[in-house]
Amino acid sequence: MVARCSRDSWPEAAGVAAQAQAIRDRAVTLAQTDERVWQDALAALAGAQIEQDSDERRDHRLEQTLERAAAAPLEIAELGADAAALAALAGERGDGTYRADASAAAALAAGGARAAAHLVQANLGVRPGDARLARARASEQAANDAAARLLEPLR
């Protein structure tokens, strides 16, 4: 919205608005994917309790299912960082009338990145040094940093 409302004063506004729309569209798709793979994970967890396969085979299938369940939240965390960065850019370069809206968007994106990073951790279990968890936490931090650029001056 900030970019769309800043087209007269900001030459890059149309491009930023298009990028924001692409992030929104991808996030909707990922939310639907996340729901589907999480339902698969729940079914696998329930099935594992009554399964007669060896512990090793069962554990391997469960691990694969939970890894798939972590993939969508990981990408959502990365999109949150991208959205927060775009919101910060719009707040800094767009029409100043809408800076508070950009700040709110950046804060919401940062919250989404944090929640998604938490889901990545929960779906993968606690595995120190896991590269996917590190990526999710890096996205969370990047989103927080972008939001802080806009929110700090308001304090």
48 to each of 23, 29, 40, 113, 116, how far by Cα in Å?
Answer: 36, 29, 12, 31, 26
In the prediction, which pLDDT does 126 show? 58
Residues in the chain: 155
Tally of structural domains, the chain: 1
CATH of the domain at 112: 1.20.120.680
Place 153 in a pLDDT band, splitting at 50, 70 and 90: low
In the prediction, which pLDDT does 154 show? 56
Radius of gyration of the chain (CA): 19
CB count in 10 Å sphere of residue 30: 19
Give the residue-averaged pLDDT of 43-72: 77
Domain membership of residue 40 as a residue range? 4-154
Place 144 in a pLDDT band, splitting at 50, 70 and 90: very high
In the prediction, which pLDDT does 7 show? 95
In the prediction, which pLDDT does 63 show? 80
Place 51 in a pLDDT band, splitting at 50, 70 and 90: low
Cβ-based neighbours of 99, under 8 Å, separated by 6 or more:
2, 91, 150
In the prediction, which pLDDT does 48 show? 67
Q: Assess contact for 123 and 133: CB atoms under 8 A.
A: no
Share of the chain above pLDDT 90, in %: 68
**What is the chain's mean pLDDT, rounded?**
90
Cβ-based neighbours of 6, under 8 Å, separated by 6 or more:
13, 90, 93, 94, 95, 98
pLDDT per residue over 98-122, tens digit each? 999 999 999 999 999 999 999 999 8
Cβ-based neighbours of 77, under 8 Å, separated by 6 or more:
112, 113, 116, 117, 120, 135, 136, 139, 140, 143
End-to-end CA distance of the chain: 24
